[in-house]
Structure 1
Amino acid sequence: MDSALSTVGLPLALGIIMFGLGLSLTPDDFRRVGQHPRAVVVALACQLILLPAVCFGLVLLFDLPALLGIGMMLLAASPGGTSANLFSHLFHGDVALNVTLTAINSVIAIFTLPVITNLAIAWYDREDTVSLQFLKVVEVFAIVLVPVLIGMLVRERRPDFAARMDKPVRIGSAVILAVLVIAILVDQRENVGDYLADVGLVAALFCAVSLVVGYVIPKVAGIVESQAIASSMEIGVHNATLAIYVAVEVLDSTEISVPAAVYSLFMFAFAAIWGYALSRRIRSASTA
Structure 2
Amino acid sequence: MDSALLTIGLPIPLAVIMFGLGLSLTTADFRRVKQNPRAVTTTLVCQLLVLPVIAFGLVELFGLAPLLAVGFMILAASPGGTTANLYSYLFRGDVALNITLTAINSIIAVVSLPLVTNWAIGHFVDEGERVGLQLDKLLQVFAIVLVPVVIGMLVRRRSPEFADRMDRPVRTASAVMLVLVVLAAMWTERENISDYLAEVGLIAAIFCILSLSIGYAVPRRLGLSEDQAVASGFEIGIHNSTLAIAMAITVLGNAQMSIPAAVYGVLMFPIAGIFGMIVRNRKVLVAERSRDRASERG
SS at match of 2:281: helix
Please list, as runs of the form range in 1=range in 2, the aligned pairs for 1:181-260 lying within 5 A after superposition. 181-260=182-261
Contact 1:121/1:127 (8 A) holds in 2:
no
Structure 2 residue aligned with 1:95: 95
Which whole-Å CA distance do the structure 2 matches of 1:85 and 1:133 have between them? 33
Letter in 1 for 2:21: L
Please list, as runs of the form range in 1=range in 2, the aligned pairs for 1:103-142 lying within 5 A after superposition. 103-129=103-129, 130-142=131-143
Which whole-Å CA distance do the structure 1 matches of 2:237 and 2:64 have between them? 21
Letter in 2 for 1:72: F
Letter in 2 for 1:219: R
Letter in 2 for 1:79: P
Structure 2 residue aligned with 1:81: 81
Which whole-Å CA distance do the structure 2 matches of 1:65 and 1:143 have between them? 27
Contact 2:67/2:125 (8 A) holds in 1:
no
Q: CA deviation at 1:127?
A: 4.6
Runs of 4+ in 1 over 4 A off after TM superposition: none
Structure 1 unpaired stretches of 5+:
none
Percent identity over paired residues: 56
Cα shift readout 1:136-156 (whole Å, capped 9, x = no counterpart): 011110121111111011111
Structure 2 residue aligned with 1:156: 157
SS at match of 1:191: helix
**TM-score using structure 1 length:** 0.97
**TM-score using structure 2 length:** 0.94
Contact 2:220/2:226 (8 A) holds in 1:
yes
Letter in 2 for 1:57: G
SS at match of 1:223: coil
Letter in 1 for 2:271: F
Which whole-Å CA distance do the structure 1 matches of 2:200 and 2:62 have between them? 9
Structure 2 residue aligned with 1:169: 170
Structure 1 stretch 59-68 or stretch 123-132: which is displaced more? 123-132
Which whole-Å CA distance do the structure 2 matches of 1:29 and 1:96 have between them? 8
Q: CA deviation at 1:4?
A: 2.2
Structure 2 unpaired stretches of 5+:
290-298
Structure 2 residue aligned with 1:282: 283
Q: CA deviation at 1:186?
A: 1.4
Contact 1:248/1:256 (8 A) holds in 2:
yes
Contact 2:79/2:239 (8 A) holds in 1:
yes
Letter in 2 for 1:102: T
Q: Which has the larger radius of gyration?
A: 2
Contact 1:200/1:262 (8 A) holds in 2:
yes
Letter in 1 for 2:238: V
SS at match of 1:50: helix
Contact 2:7/2:253 (8 A) holds in 1:
no
Which whole-Å CA distance do the structure 1 matches of 2:29 and 2:164 have between them? 16
Which whole-Å CA distance do the structure 2 matches of 1:27 and 1:134 have between them? 29
Q: How many residues were matched structurally?
A: 287
Which whole-Å CA distance do the structure 1 matches of 2:273 and 2:288 have between them? 23
Structure 1 stretch 44-53 or stretch 171-180: which is displaced more? 171-180
Which whole-Å CA distance do the structure 1 matches of 2:167 and 2:89 have between them? 13
Which whole-Å CA distance do the structure 1 matches of 2:69 and 2:248 have between them? 12
Which whole-Å CA distance do the structure 1 matches of 2:90 and 2:167 have between them? 15
Structure 2 residue aligned with 1:42: 42
Which whole-Å CA distance do the structure 1 matches of 2:171 and 2:286 have between them? 32
SS at match of 2:132: coil
Letter in 1 for 2:151: I
Structure 1 stretch 159-168 or stretch 40-49: which is displaced more? 159-168
